[in-house]
Amino acid sequence: MRTIMASRITETVSALCIRANLYLPDDVRDALQKSCREEPWPLARSVLEQLDINQALAAEKSRPICQDTGMACLDVELGQDVHIEGDLEEALQEGVRRGYTEGYLRKSIVADPLRRVNTEDNTPAFITWHLVPGEHLRITMMPKGCGSENMSRLAMLKPADGAEGVRNFVLETVREAGSNPCPPIVLGIGIGGSFDKVAALAKHALLRPLTDRNPDPFYAALEEQWLADINALGIGPQGFGGQTTCLGLAIEAAPTHVAALPAAVCISCHATRRMSAEL
Amino acid sequence: MEYHLTLPLTEEERSRLRAGDLVYLSGTVYTARDAGHARLTALLDEGKELPFPLRDAAVYYVGPTPEKPGEIIGSAGPTTSGRMDPYTPRLLDLGLKVIIGKGKRNRAVQEALIRNKALYFAALGGAGALIADCITAAETICWEDLGCEALRKLTIKELPLTLVLDTVGGNLYESGPAAYLASEQQG
Under the banding of pLDDT at 50, 70 and 90, the label for residue B183 is very high
The CA angle A114-A115-A119, to the nearest 5 degrees, is 115
A176 touches chain B (CB under 8 A): no
- For A101-144, strand residue ranges (E) read 126-132, 137-144
Instruction: Output the pLDDT for position B186.
Output: 83
Domain boundaries, chain A: 2-20+65-144, 147-276
pLDDT at A6 over 90: yes
Closest partner CB to B181 (pick from A116, A234, A269): A234
pLDDT digits (tens, 9 = 90+) for B92-141: 999 999 999 999 999 999 999 999 999 999 999 999 999 999 999 999 99
The nearest CA of chain A is from the CA of B130 a distance in Å of: 5
Q: What integer is the mean pLDDT of A4-23?
A: 98
Q: B126 by DSSP, 3-state: which?
A: coil
Distance, CA of B159 to CA of A119 (rounded, Å): 32
Summary mean pLDDT of chain B: 97
Neighbours of B186 (CB within 10 A): 6
The span from the CA of B133 to the CA of A41, in Å, is 27
Cβ neighbour number for residue A165 with a 10 Å cutoff: 16
- Quote the percentage of chain A above a pLDDT of 70: 100
Residue A248: CA atoms inside 13 Å, Cβ hemisphere, count? Answer: 24
Residue type, A1: M
pLDDT number for residue B179: 97
The single-letter DSSP state of residue A30 is H
Residues in A touching B77 (Cβ below 8 Å): 66-68
Please say if the pLDDT value at position B187 is more than 80.
no
Contact B180 A50 (CB under 8 A): no
Q: Which residues, 6+ apart, have CB-to-CB distance to A252 below 8 Å?
A: A188, A189, A190, A191, A201, A202, A204, A205, A214
Domains of chain B: 7-63+71-186 (3.20.130.10)
Mean pLDDT of A216-236: 98
Q: What is the mean pLDDT of residues A242-256?
A: 98
Q: Which of residues 39-98 of B touch A (CB under 8 A)?
A: 62-68, 74-77, 79-80, 82
Q: What is the pLDDT of residue B31?
A: 97
Q: What is the mean pLDDT of residues B6-19?
A: 98
